[in-house]
Amino acid sequence: MGARHKTTTNRRAALVAGLIAIGALCAGGCGSSSGGTATGAQTKTVDDAQVEQGIETSLSTSSAKVTSAKCPSDVPVQKDDTFTCTVTFDNGATGKATVTQEGAGKYTYELTPGSVQVPGSTADAAIEKSLAAQGIPNTTVTCPNNIIVKVGTTVTCNVSGAQGVAGGTVTFTFSDAEGDIDTSSVKTS
């Protein structure tokens, strides 16, 4: 009888060990996995394509259209949290947009102050056009390579040409945060 009791005990031990192994495999294989480790639930992330479309629609103006927006693809959904995306405008300006999560897939967008930069060549062309409209054609304007947009701040560039009529500097201000030049502010000195 001792041998039979020993065999039954060994079978029970093997059965218990097998059930434990199956339970461990099921626990390890159930749920979602990320990077080879088991997790209870996957973190929900912001729909970056939806946000990028929202930026293009919301931050475009009649004079400066957002031509592209790029947001990170791994931003967790969290009401009232903010994150930053990059934007490019049709006037060549680039900058950053701050996105605030309002909840239920709704967001607000605003340009991050001081982040928008206009290429100097874009400003050069706009000022030359403005000067031509003021009766000073054929000027050559040379602005810094990149100009940080600050509404109300005066920017100074070099100007020459126009058969000697223009020489020295030209000043202007931006009319909005998107980098549009206030053509009424363009003055030569």
Is the same domain home to 57 and 100? Answer: yes
Is the same domain home to 137 and 168? Answer: yes
Is the same domain home to 165 and 134? Answer: yes
Q: Can you give the pLDDT at residue 141?
A: 95
Is the same domain home to 98 and 143? Answer: no
Is the same domain home to 84 and 143? Answer: no
81 — phi, psi (to 5°)?
-75, 155
Q: What percent of the chain has pLDDT over 70?
A: 75
Q: Is the pLDDT of residue 31 over 60?
A: no
Is the same domain home to 90 and 130? Answer: no
Q: Is the pLDDT of residue 13 over 70?
A: no
> Is 23 inside a domain boundary?
no
Domain boundary among 61, 96, 111: 111
Tokens of 8: 């039954």
> Is 144 inside a domain boundary?
yes
Is the same domain home to 130 and 102? Answer: no
Is the same domain home to 58 and 76? Answer: yes
Is the same domain home to 83 and 62? Answer: yes
Domain boundary among 111, 134, 157: 111
Q: Can you give the pLDDT at residue 63?
A: 85
CA dihedral 103, 105, 111, 112 (to 10 degrees): 50
> Is 14 inside a domain boundary?
no
Q: Can you give the pLDDT at residue 40?
A: 53
More confident residue, 16 or 133: 133
Q: Can you give the pLDDT at residue 25?
A: 39
Tens digit of each residue's pLDDT (9 = 90 or more) over 139-183: 999 999 999 999 989 999 999 986 666 678 999 999 999 999 999
> Is 12 inside a domain boundary?
no
Q: Scan for tokens 């600050």, then name that residue.
A: 150
Q: Angle 153-159-162 (CA atoms, 0-180°, nearest 5)?
A: 135
Q: Can you give the pLDDT at residue 186?
A: 95
Domain boundary among 71, 87, 111: 111
Range of the domain at 69: 48-111
- Please state, in angstroms and rounded to a whole number, the distance separating the CA atoms of residues 27 and 38: 9
Count: domains in the chain: 2
> Is 167 inside a domain boundary?
yes
Nearest Cα residue to 166 out of 140, 130, 133: 140
Q: Is the pLDDT of residue 67 over 60?
A: yes
Q: Scan for tokens 């199956």, then name that residue.
A: 22
> Is 28 inside a domain boundary?
no
Q: Can you give the pLDDT at residue 8?
A: 46
Q: Can you give the pLDDT at residue 163?
A: 64
Contacts 24+ apart (CB under 8 A), 74-77: 74/45, 75/45, 75/46, 75/48, 76/43, 76/44, 76/45, 76/46, 77/43, 77/44, 77/45, 77/46, 77/101
Is the same domain home to 56 and 107? Answer: yes
